[in-house]
Every structure is written in C-alpha cells, then in structure tokens.
Amino acid sequence: MKNKNDVRRFNLALASVMMMALVGCAPANSDPAENDPMESINRGVFEFNQVVDNFVIEPVAKGYRYITPDPLRSRIGNVSDNLQEPLNMIHAFLQGDFDQGMVSFWRFALNSTIGIAGMNDVAASAGLERRSEDLGQTLAVWGVGEGPYVVLPLLGPSNLRDTTGTVGDWFIDPVNYAIDDTSTEIWVAGGQGIVKRERLIDVLDDVEESSLDPYVTLRSMYRQHRAAQVGNTGDGPLPSSGDVTE
C-alpha cells in the first residue's frame, strides 16, 4: 500500500508542477492556430529534453538497437506492446467501441498465452490488429479539446488533455496494479520508453537533419499524429489550396 501512495505523491507533484507552469505564464506572441500560448516555456523544456536526449536517452536507444538482433528486438517490442493491451481495451470500451475492445481483449489473451508472454503477435496473424488507445484519446472522444500544447520534461510533446491522460492512465492501467511495486513499475515504464525511443530513431534523425525548426516540426507532427489516433485514421489533414490561389 505504501508504494501506491508513493506513486500518487509523485503524480500529484508532477500535476502541480504542470498546473503552475500553465497558470504562471503569459501568452507568447505565436500564431493562435498553432495552439501554443506557452511557446517560450515549452521551448525551454524542449531544449532541456534535447540535451538529455543527446547525452542519455538516444545513446541508450541506439545501444539497445545495436546489441539486440532483429528477431529479439521485435519480440521485446511485442512484449512492451502487449502490456498496453489491457489499457487499450479499457479505453476502447470507454469510447463505446465494443468491437475494438474485444479485439484488444483477445489480443492480450492470445498473445500472453500462445504468444508466450506477448513475445509473438499471433493475434495479428489471426486478423486482430493492434490499435493504441489511451485516456487522452478517450477524453477527446468524449468531447474534451486538446488544450494548449505542452512539452513535458523527459516525456516530450503533449497537451493539457493528453497530460491529464498520461497521469490518469498511471492510475487506470491494470498492469500497474498487477505489478504493485513502485520501483518495478518505473523500470517497466523506463524500458517501454527506450523501446519507443528506439522505434523513433529514424524519424527523429530525419527531423534533426531536414527541419529548419525542430521544435515547430515536432509540435506539428505530434498534433497531427494525435488527431489521427483519435479519429483512428491515417489520412492526415486535407490540404486546401484556397490559400495559394493568386
């Protein structure tokens, strides 16, 4: 029980830091369409994250990629994905998508057993495709707007709605209750973070190489990607040529 309380305290502290950051800032002079009234603070956190990423997270992710041969790495990725299925299921149900909730249920059931602790995605071979759901998406389906864009320390791009979602999911996630040990939970979360960062190596290298302003590029990518996840589409926004007609 003590451990749960630690987790709560940690999250409350995180949430209050967030709220202070939100309340105590004056709007910067950026385009309202970019939804980023706290741009100057966000840029500061972004710079900090870049430094930490360059010196710690990225080297660890690249080291992980280097030492794990491909079949092993995709199995580790599958285990990590499988641990998210209970949360995917809960949120599919909360969004009223019963069919997808059952897909997540069966994915977890099949992959945890026949797939051996989630190492093999046997469910996908049976046509049960993975879909990532979380509290941020559920809130969006319930009509909550994204709120201002926020760059979280270490966790990176988010917004007020998704930050609430991230904190809330820590309490909702059945896997955290199953583990019931704070330090193990943090290790698991850290491991999942490295798996995620390894998958993003090429995308983020590309942004670093080609972007004129990586902060703005990542902000735009995050917002588009989340909108696509919420709508469960991969289409992206429709370009309107109205602006360029002469």
- Shortest spacing between CB 36 and other proteins, in angstroms: 9
- Shortest spacing between CB 208 and other proteins, in angstroms: 11
Kindly tell me which of 18 and 115 has the beta carbon lying closer to other proteins: 115
- Interaction between residue 99 and other proteins (CB under 8 A): no
- Cα distance between residue 58 and residue 77, in whole Å: 17
- Interaction between residue 4 and other proteins (CB under 8 A): no
CA 74 to chain CA centroid, Å, is 19
Helix, strand, or coil here: 151?
Answer: strand
- Interaction between residue 235 and other proteins (CB under 8 A): yes
- Interaction between residue 199 and other proteins (CB under 8 A): yes
Kindly tell me which of 180 and 206 has the beta carbon lying closer to other proteins: 206
- Interaction between residue 143 and other proteins (CB under 8 A): no
- Interaction between residue 125 and other proteins (CB under 8 A): no
Distances (CA, A) of 246 to 80, 241, 242, 243: 51, 10, 9, 8
Give the range of 28-36, 83-91, 99-107, 108-116 binding other proteins by CB under 8 A. 28-36
- Cα distance between residue 115 and residue 120, in whole Å: 5
Kindly tell me which of 125 and 184 has the beta carbon lying closer to other proteins: 125
Identify the bridge partners of residue 152 per DSSP, sorted by sequence position. 156
Task: Tell how many helices (H) and how many strands (E) occur in the chain.
Answer: 13, 2
